[in-house]
Structure 1
């Protein structure tokens, strides 16, 4: 079952990371964080995105299902 997730990371991610993150919607916030939002069809996809965030070196602040 596909669910939409929102990942919040510390720092402002650059647009050039978007392909690595599978085209998730990237929003930079005034508080110095970024959110990545998009559908994840399965746990494998979610784990892939989490691994990409780890590889970028962006500290993960939160993960939640938004839809």
Structure 2
């Protein structure tokens, strides 16, 4: 079977990964199912004030979009998104 670059990229994004998401503002753990399994740490940032850092495993890109959509629904500004593993 010949693998194309696109199929390799698809495979990478369809796997569970650990993400760290930083947003300006306060995230409440009970807002939505999509963020309940993520650890939420509050920080103070000199430029953005209160910052929430969400860390944890997300099933795939569809689930990640659900998390990001939830954060967007609450009008939080995305500061950073990192794949940790």
> Over alpha carbons, which structure has the higher Rg?
2
Contact 1:5/1:37 (<8 A) preserved: yes
Larger relative helix fraction? 2
Which structure's relative contact order is higher, taking Cα pairs within 8 Å and 6+ residues apart? 1
Stretches of 4+ moved more than 4 A in 1?
Answer: none
Q: TM-score, normalised by structure 2?
A: 0.68
Long gaps (5+) in structure 2:
1-14
Q: TM-score, normalised by structure 1?
A: 0.84
Long gaps (5+) in structure 1:
none
Give the aligned partner of residue 40 of structure 1: 58
The count of residues paired between Structure 1 and Structure 2 equals 67
3-state SS of the aligned residue for 1:16?
coil
When residues 40 and 14 of structure 1 are mapped into structure 2, their CA distance, relative to the original with a 3 A threshold, is closer
